[in-house]
Amino acid sequence: MRTRFTALATLLAASLLALPASAVEVSFQPVADGVYAYIGEIEGRSYDNEGLNANIGLVVTAAGAVLIDSGSSHQVAAKIHEAVRKVTTQPLKLVINTGDQDHRWLGNGYFAGLGIQTLAHADAKADMQARAGEQMDGLKVLRERLDGTRPTLPSRFVTTQDSTLDMGGTLIELRHRQGGHTPGDTLVWLPQKNVLFSGDVVYVDRVLGLHPVSRTKTWLDSFAVIEQIKPHTIVPGHGSVTNLTTAQAQTRDLLLALRTHMKKAVDEGMDISAAVKSFNGQPFAHLKHADVWLPQLANLTYLEMERE
Ligand SMILES: [Zn+2]
């Protein structure tokens, strides 16, 4: 009996060991004619999702393919490239980094190694340089899946707040308003397709993230550009493909609520812990990670309002 039990246990252990570890699978879904998105999960960074807990975009033009964000690592970037090849035979010509958070640019080294141009707004540069080490540390959970990743600055920077790229007749407009989530946040607008890739200016389904480099004030300036554009379709930085109304409810309104509450608290001389405790996060409680993130957002916004 005992032997049989041991044998069974050994068999069970062996079969568990044989289970392949799960890894991120990148595939692009059509969003509009020639426009695709990979929608990443909205969990935190993990070994299984390889840090690609964010969305990536792809635009196929007559002058080659354009990738929007390079992913969280060298290995993830290679998977993204493979997924691009499944959608189009057009060679990848350009990678745009919509911000300076890890999953927007740490795959740059892979693409640069293939001679593919990488581009971001110049305001991203200092933050990329300053936080590359911190971002790599934050991805230690990827273990050997981070192997090969070398933080690589974009090969090209745009310096104006508005610019337009013409890729074989497909217009790609970049809009930058001093950043929000990160200093280099850039909107990618495709006027002929009526699609906007917002990068981390729009979060849906989950609560937005704030870091010490984030600025809610200029984040709202970036958001106002989306309201002027009124895109039919928004591919957010995180969460499912969405529209302006949902983006306003889940990103803009949260930023406004935080700023309004914290401005009043600072003006009235309320201390930070009382200000954080009295913030009403109820309208946003349904968003994923609200329990963990809302107090942190409240904290950082208080400090920002103090500085303003
Ligand atoms: Zn992000």
Q: How far is the CA of 37 from the centre of ligand 1 (A)?
A: 15
Q: How far is the CA of 238 from the centre of ligand 1 (A)?
A: 7
Domain ranges of the chain: 22-242
> Position 99: which residue type?
G
pLDDT of residue 298: 98
Determine the Cα–Cα distance for residues 105 and 258; give it in Å rounded to an integer: 28
Could you tell me which residue, 127 or 8, shows the higher pLDDT? 127
- Which pair of tokens denotes residue 74? 């060298």
Determine the Cα–Cα distance for residues 283 and 207; give it in Å rounded to an integer: 11
Please, what is the Cα angle at 179 between 199 and 226, to 5 degrees?
55
Q: How far is the CA of 269 from the centre of ligand 1 (A)?
A: 33
pLDDT of residue 14: 52
Domain 22-242 annotated CATH 3.60.15.10: yes
pLDDT of residue 1: 47
Pick the closest to residue 175 from 106, 98, 64 (CA basis): 98
Determine the Cα–Cα distance for residues 124 and 304; give it in Å rounded to an integer: 20
Q: How far is the CA of 297 from the centre of ligand 1 (A)?
A: 15
pLDDT of residue 263: 98
With 0.85 as the threshold, say if the pTM is over it: yes
Q: How far is the CA of 265 from the centre of ligand 1 (A)?
A: 28
Q: Does residue 269 register a pLDDT over 80?
A: yes
Q: How far is the CA of 85 from the centre of ligand 1 (A)?
A: 24
Residues 168-210: pLDDT tens digits?
999 999 999 999 999 999 999 999 999 999 999 999 999 999 9
